[in-house]
Homo-oligomer: A and B are copies of this chain.
């Protein structure tokens, strides 16, 4: 089975630069999932065939919710789903629970982040479509998962019933290879691509 590759754009790029990067990614692999600001979903789904996720949505219902982003809104913009609970946007658990439920109601997929195995086990019960483990010590770091935490990944693999992805610290082809060997179904990448001088080249390397 092919690994799932997620690229989190964070808020590194705006407007046309988002589209440009998405188009580069699409040329290399159409099955990659990208996470963008809610304001960019419509443009990206219109111009590429990538699988597009919002980086966050609110659980509010239609009507009186000025300033929130609704599940229905990004569904109409053809997002496949939404990230939730990213380490830069943690949600209190009752809010996360409600939001996962809302996504299911409108048939949006959910990709929920967890910072630890303990948190992942709790989130697993909500039955998100994807679960991404991002050990905080690896976020935005240069230490690779494969070198830093092989035992952690193995243990996650053993203790979780669901499939999971590994985020944080993925910078090389070896990191991906190791993450998959240790039991993950894929990886979430961010700065390795979004901050690369030549993102196409870097992505090709990573996937080679």
Q: How large is the interface on A (under 10, 10 to 19, 20 to 34, 35 or more residues)?
A: 35 or more
Write 17 A-B pairs (CB below 8 A) sorted by A numbering. A8-B66, A10-B65, A11-B68, A12-B62, A14-B76, A15-B73, A16-B76, A37-B38, A37-B73, A39-B54, A42-B42, A56-B66, A64-B88, A64-B140, A66-B89, A94-B98, A135-B137
Q: This chain: how many copies in the complex? A: 4
Point out the residues of chain B lying under 8 angstroms from A14, CB to CB. Answer: 62, 70, 72-73, 75-76
A residues whose Cβ falls under 8 Å from a Cβ of B: 8, 10-12, 14-16, 35, 37-43, 54-56, 59-70, 72-77, 83, 86-89, 92-95, 97-98, 115, 135-137, 140
Q: Which 4 A-B pairs have the closest CB atoms?
A: A15-B76, A56-B67, A137-B137, A67-B89
Point out the residues of chain B lying under 8 angstroms from A74, CB to CB. Answer: 39
- Contact of B77 with A66 in the complex, beta carbons under 8 Å: no
